[in-house]
Amino acid sequence: MSGLYIHIPFCKKRCIYCDFFSDTRTGLISRFTGALCREIELRVGELGNTTVSTIYFGGGTPSQLPVERLNDIFSALSGYFELDSCLEITLEANPDDLTSEYISALKDSPVNRISMGVQSFRDEDLVFLNRRHDVSGALRAYELCSRAGYDNISIDLIYGLPGQDIRAWNENLRMAVSLSPAHISAYSLIYEEDTALYRLRDTGKIIECDEEVYLQMFGSLIDRLTGAGYDHYEISNFAKNDRYSRHNTSYWQDVPYLGLGPSAHSYDRFSRKWNISGLMSYIENIEKGYTVYDTEIIDDDTRYNDMVITSLRTKWGLDLEAVSSNFGEDRRTYCLNAATRYIEEGLLDYDGRILRLSREGIFVSDGIMSDLLYVL
């Protein structure tokens, strides 16, 4: 079993916080689509004979791709995979793109899950973040998707904005819960280098959210969503009725995946690969029949560290028997010894086999994970 990640790099404009590879030259969409279909042909063998269970269109803004071009990609994929047997096919979408015409055409495609970048239910936040849509547009897009029969909708939210207070965040959560989406992802605002947001902070034009307020927001996020029936299955992710993001969950459970498109990453348990980022470089090389990516070989220490970080992020936790079987009993002992202080402090729960972050441990998870890593 494996997954496919397909990076669609196009955006109408860039959000101030985003450091993912994107390009505003939408006139290249048709040529890009042709190159992507060619890359499928060139690289599909890297998956071996495994079944593809999830496909995820990320970006960028995948909903910038006309549905006709999406269907070109599905046509190329159908030559190698049974798309009807895919458990989940997700399209990331900006609410501004989700018109009734677009959704109607999309419903006839294999896409069965929509991940909608709402980010906030306050117009002033959306203006600050340089989003294209407003709150009414997000609500309208959500309603259109629901009416069209999409019952597996995820919405993204961002918290910890400059000047944001707990009252404003709680109103965001109230609005999100009122829609009752199958899935909610909520991320703290991160100041990535080389973004407009980073420059605004460094020039003193904005001030980061206070750490204490941020922690209050995170606590309110957990309490309000779990109180509304959402399962807090990963640090930033909540789902109703087991509607987890199957694709993202595969990342946390060591499932191999192939990444297609500029800047896309791939993983096969033994190595990581990442495609070149330049849009024209990507297109021109693929058109010539070349795939260009960098490769990192993964040793056992890196695999162990990856397992610690990805497993502890989830409600399923870190299985120490899996640590032993994959890396030896000495590594299991090392891990448990490092975890002991956190178990005693109530920050990790331990049932004799599985280590899990406690409610309190989630707030200091980075430090816990760091201390369980193996460092030569």
Question: Residue 143: pLDDT band by 50, 70, 90 thresholds?
Answer: very high
Record the tokens describing residue 247, joined without a space: 């694709």
Under the phi-then-psi rule, with left for phi > 0, alpha for psi from -120 to 50, and beta for the rest, what region is 273? Answer: beta
Task: Find the angle CA(331)-CA(313)-CA(5) to the nearest 5 degrees.
Answer: 105
Domain identity same for 208 and 331: no
What is the pLDDT at residue 49?
Answer: 77
**Average pLDDT value for residue range 235-262:** 95
What is the pLDDT at residue 142?
Answer: 98
Q: How far apart are CA 25 and CA 279, in angstroms?
A: 9
Q: Which candidate, 16, 22, 21, places its Cα nearest to that of 195?
A: 16
What is the pLDDT at residue 29?
Answer: 95
For the chain, the domain total comes to 2
What is the pLDDT at residue 313?
Answer: 97
Q: How far apart are CA 58 and CA 154, in angstroms?
A: 13
For residues 195 and 353, which has the higher predicted lDDT (pLDDT)?
353
Domain identity same for 129 and 201: yes
Pairing of strands 265-267, 2-8: unpaired
Domain identity same for 231 and 363: no
Residue 199 domain-assigned?
yes
241: Cα within 13 Å, side-chain hemisphere: 7
What is the pLDDT at residue 128?
Answer: 93
**Counts for the chain of helices (H) and strands (E), in that order:** 14, 15
**Average pLDDT value for residue range 145-153:** 97
What is the pLDDT at residue 198?
Answer: 87
Instruction: Tell me the Cα Rg of the chain.
Output: 21
Looking at 235, 252, 269, the residue that finishes a domain is 252
Average of per-residue pLDDT values in the chain: 94
Q: Which of 5-14, 26-35, 281-290 has the lowest mean pLDDT?
A: 5-14
What is the pLDDT at residue 271?
Answer: 95
pLDDT at residue 21 greater than cutoff 80:
no
Residue 57 lies in domain: 2-252
What is the pLDDT at residue 230?
Answer: 98
What is the pLDDT at residue 261?
Answer: 96
pLDDT at residue 1 greater than cutoff 80:
no
Q: Which whole-number Å values give the CA distances from 30 to 6, 274, 330, 347, in the listed order? A: 15, 23, 54, 51
What is the pLDDT at residue 15?
Answer: 81
Q: Which whole-number Å values give the CA distances from 201 to 18, 126, 194, in the listed order? A: 15, 18, 12
Looking at 252, 273, 288, the residue that finishes a domain is 252
**Average pLDDT value for residue range 336-353:** 97
Domain identity same for 219 and 319: no
Residue 292 domain-assigned?
no
pLDDT at residue 355 greater than cutoff 90:
yes
Q: How far apart are CA 240 and CA 229, in angstroms?
A: 7
Q: Calculate what percentage of the chain has a pLDDT beyond 90.
A: 86
Residue 81 domain-assigned?
yes
Residue 266 domain-assigned?
no
For residues 347 and 50, which has the higher predicted lDDT (pLDDT)?
347
Question: Residue 12: pLDDT band by 50, 70, 90 thresholds?
Answer: confident
Buried-exposed string 158-171: b where 16+ CB fall within 10 A, e elsewhere: bbbbeebeeebbee
CATH number for the domain that contains residue 329: 1.10.10.920
Domain identity same for 305 and 238: no
pLDDT at residue 11 greater than cutoff 90:
no
The total number of residues written for the chain in this structure: 376
CATH number for the domain that contains residue 204: 3.80.30.20
Phi and psi angles of residue 35, each rounded to the nearest 5 degrees, phi first: -65, -40
Question: Residue 48: pLDDT band by 50, 70, 90 thresholds?
Answer: confident
Quickly tell me which residue has 């990342």 as its tokens. 251
pLDDT tens for 71-121 read 999 999 999 998 988 999 999 999 999 999 999 999 999 999 999 999 999
Q: Which whole-number Å values give the CA distances from 103 to 8, 169, 245, in the listed order? A: 18, 29, 21
Residue 286 domain-assigned?
no
Domain identity same for 323 and 175: no
Q: Which candidate, 71, 113, 72, places its Cα nearest to that of 247?
A: 113
Helix or strand run (H / E) with residue 314: none
Stated pTM of the model: 0.95
Looking at 220, 252, 284, the residue that finishes a domain is 252
pLDDT tens for 260-291 read 999 999 999 999 999 999 999 999 999 999 99
Domain identity same for 128 and 43: yes
In Å, how far from its chain's centre is CA 302? 21
**Average pLDDT value for residue range 64-69:** 96
Domain identity same for 244 and 313: no
Residue 149 domain-assigned?
yes
pLDDT tens for 298-328 read 999 999 999 999 999 999 999 999 999 999 9
Residue 353 domain-assigned?
yes
Total Cβ atoms within 10 A of residue 20: 15
